[in-house]
């Protein structure tokens, strides 16, 4: 009976009570364990103007639940999809159009993650660590590279 309590949530919104929804300018969207790296990086940076939203169901995309989370942040200007996998192997290409569809006019969408690769992992700890550090830096820094504006 312990396992029967609660329910599956297709989207898990910001859970940190220190994050004031009115001050949020950026939302980082993710799925999976990268969430914990993002939370730790935000804490280290004391970047309380950034919300982190988890998408637990990628297909079919939970448009209503996702849109409801974004609407909680009236000053949201930037949305960043963050993933551990290389760009061509994770959910980014299958999810970006669904995220973009839920943005308001003027909001920007960008990607933070590993570059495209033929292999799912680099195979060297130092390179993996450098890529993970770059992923986190990109997620919290000024938008650059390929950015979509609605």
Question: Which sequence spans correspond to the domains of the chain?
Answer: 8-149
| pLDDT at residue 2 tops 80 | no
**pLDDT band at residue 109 under the 50/70/90 scheme:** very high
Q: Are 64 and 98 in contact (CB under 8 A)?
A: no
| pLDDT at residue 1 tops 80 | no
**pLDDT band at residue 144 under the 50/70/90 scheme:** confident
Q: Alpha-carbon distance 15 to 60, whole Å?
A: 24
Q: Are 19 and 75 in contact (CB under 8 A)?
A: no
> Residue 6's pLDDT is what?
83
Regarding the domain delimited by 8-149, which CATH topology (the fold level of the hierarchy) does it fall under? Rossmann fold (3.40.50)
> Residue 11's pLDDT is what?
98
Q: Which two tokens stand for residue 144?
A: 């650059």
Q: Alpha-carbon distance 73 to 23, whole Å?
A: 8
Q: What is the mean pLDDT of the chain?
A: 94
Task: Lowest mean pLDDT of 49-53, 67-71, 78-82, 121-125, name the range.
Answer: 121-125
Q: Are 88 and 116 in contact (CB under 8 A)?
A: yes
């Amino acid at each position: 009976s312990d396992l029967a309590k609660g329910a599956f949530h297709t989207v898990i919104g910001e859970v940190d009570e220190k994050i004031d929804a009115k001050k949020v300018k950026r939302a980082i969207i993710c799925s999976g364990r990268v969430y914990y790296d993002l939370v730790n990086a935000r804490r280290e940076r004391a970047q309380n103007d950034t919300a982190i939203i988890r998408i637990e169901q990628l297909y079919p995309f939970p448009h209503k639940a996702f849109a409801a989370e974004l609407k909680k942040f009236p000053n949201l200007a930037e949305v960043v999809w963050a993933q551990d996998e290389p760009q061509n192997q994770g959910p980014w290409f299958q999810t970006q159009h669904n995220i973009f569809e839920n943005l308001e006019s003027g909001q920007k969408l960008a990607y933070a993650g590993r570059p495209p690769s033929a292999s799912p992992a680099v195979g060297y700890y130092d390179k993996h660590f450098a890529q993970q550090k770059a992923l986190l830096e990109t997620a919290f820094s000024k938008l650059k590279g390929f950015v979509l504006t609605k």
